[in-house]
Structure 1
Amino acid sequence: MTVERILPTEEAYELLGLTREIAQGELAPQVARYEQKGEFPRDILRTIGRAGLLGLPYPEADGGGGQPYEVYLQVLEILASSWVAIAEAVSVHTLSCFPVAAFGTERQRKSLPEMLGGELLGAYCLSEPQGGSDAAALATRAVREVDEYVVTGTKAWITHGGRADFYNIFCRTGGPGPGGISCLLADAATGGLLPQAPERLMGLRSSAPAQIVLDGARIPADRLVGEEGGGFRIAMQALDAGRLGIAACAVGLAQAAVDYAAAYAKERTQFGKPIASFQGLGFMLADMATQVSAARALMLEAARLKDAGRPFSTEAAKAKLFATDVAMKVTTDAVQVLGGSGYVNDHPAERWFREAKVLQIVEGTNQIQRLVISRSLTRD
């Protein structure tokens, strides 16, 4: 399934140019320090928000950038080529704005300009310690008491946990299964909403996700997003788009690894000539570059389907699966190209290798993506 490509506008080209300036001038010089310290870059995200990069795929009338998804994903790719955790933060925030943007009441939607402008940072609370891939089995429960929901449970692996200003809480208001799940919009100051200590990660250390404990948290009933029992549908629609965001992060990461490995191979000499001239290594670089181009093409094709208003869920799963597997393969090969230098943190290849791994897990593991794709092939 293909759609005709619509060429980006002059505004979009300027936007991509601005993103490159920010990525190269603001992000690249700071990433190593933040990642080493495991420090969350909240001020940098505010800067990115004020540059208009935190609400790109949403309508201008709501405070967004009014850009097609095809352009938004290219922005994420550029950001990821300098700092993957920043690109992932933009992707997660964009995902977190979706419930209110698509299903929110008029009163809830009044917060959209601050959300999309980046003054308010969002978190998406779906996963739980015992329920990652099986989202329909979540156990966090919300009980209606007059004009409030009293929410009890624990959410896990929450990007921006403890840093966010608003939280989408997916919780059980009814019986078992997807039909019993609702979405509540909670402020960070909600009593009983208790962020835990940040997780200590192998990669994306500046992202610092955390568990969110809900200990009798009282959320006003008018913060129900959509209808009661409609939360699972909201979550799945958001994840379809979110998977494309992670694909873009993977492509940007992989492209950075290819560029760095190729530059190193041109400068590093052995046996009197650059190692890039040896066929075994040159062919490795060629395969790396080809795989990244293929991943980018798959990602953008899925984005064009979304922009055209056509079904894109399966294509998003394909893009997320392929792009993140490519990122893992390409960063592994980049370490190999650098040899011993690739294994020390004087060079970024070892960091990219660690960061690529998590992209195969978040927004639905790649095993889940294969399940989505295989079911689409056998569905009547």
Structure 2
Amino acid sequence: MRQTWRWFGPSDLARVEDMLQAGVEGVVSALHHIPNGAVWTPAEIARRQAQIASRSDGTPSGLKWEVVESLPVSEDVKKQKGDWRTHIANYKSSLENLAAAGIETICYNFMPILDWTRTDLNWRVAHGGTCMRFDIIDFAAFDIHLLARADAASDYAPKIAASAHQRFATMSEARKLELTNNVTAGLPGATEHLTLEGVRQQLAEYDHISIDRLRAHFIAFLEEVVPVAERLGMRLCCHPDDPPFALMGLPRIMSTLEDYLAVLSAVDSPANGATLCSGSLGVRPDNDLLAMMKALAPKVHFIHLRNVRRDNGAIAGSFFEDEHLAGDTDMVALIAAIMTEEARRKAEGRADHQIPMRPDHGQDILDDLGRKAQPGYPTIGRLKGLAELRGVMRAFGHPELGLKGTGAND
């Protein structure tokens, strides 16, 4: 796997020098300041490339912007309302501009309204560090009592709804505000954030959009943009829902293997692929990560490696973000499956045999605890995760221990 690192631009507390010292091979970034639906211009793309290519003192870094995460799909496109046709045209223009700049891998998602959703951004774990957590009781308290969504309680098991009522009754005003801000945070690094009233307005526009209809809108989007990406030699890869189950009554269409197979077969192209996020998909106990990797293998264009630990076996339940080699996903077995696919691609002669991977998220440890970095993206926590993942990869690539057909530097 090609070892990459997510970087949010000059405002990121991790510097270009830090990425170099971490030993990463490429950079994952996006133009977070550009509104969703607008064109990413050649000038803005070149500016970000120049920022990545230079250290603080102006000397060359040797790093390149290799993966876009994310080129957002606007809400208008998801709902097929307003300026959705213009936004699709703009998306195509952005792809043209990115391809002209030499960037081939584009990660995006099709989650309605909210991107990843957590109730806690700094949840204390046993060793004293912190991590992100989704607590189903807290989320139900937000949904039923703070958002006050009509009939929200009926979407939860009676025991969860009752527990949410009890918890909300003792919740401080500070915690209510914190919970609201955490849930409505939006895309990592984005400047667009929703208020409670904004969420209510958006929810009203999804009242008549079913799972089937949202999937139809997604396929219509793919039918427009995938041919452009294929012509340009690009790889589009959809990130799964996070968490991969219904929230606030909204349709979720990228949570299971069946979901991925439906959209990949509907628009069958080497340019239409998946971002395999072990953390997002691993939240569901009925998602077999090894089986998913093997089934989607030829079209896995980007990989996020992180781990979660579930509180119980519920599909829609609580979880926290564990250490990369801990949690409920067998990360060693997953890495073996990924490297086996890379060896298969190399033998087949595919130019994209090396799949870009990044250590996704990380626990705040050591100096991270005082830095207040982008939630989920501490420097030291991610570096620890990358070191652990790199060790597994190196072991599998060793001639005495490794998988047949792989190499440490493949």
TM-score range, shorter chain: under 0.3
TM-score by length of 1: 0.27
TM-score by length of 2: 0.26
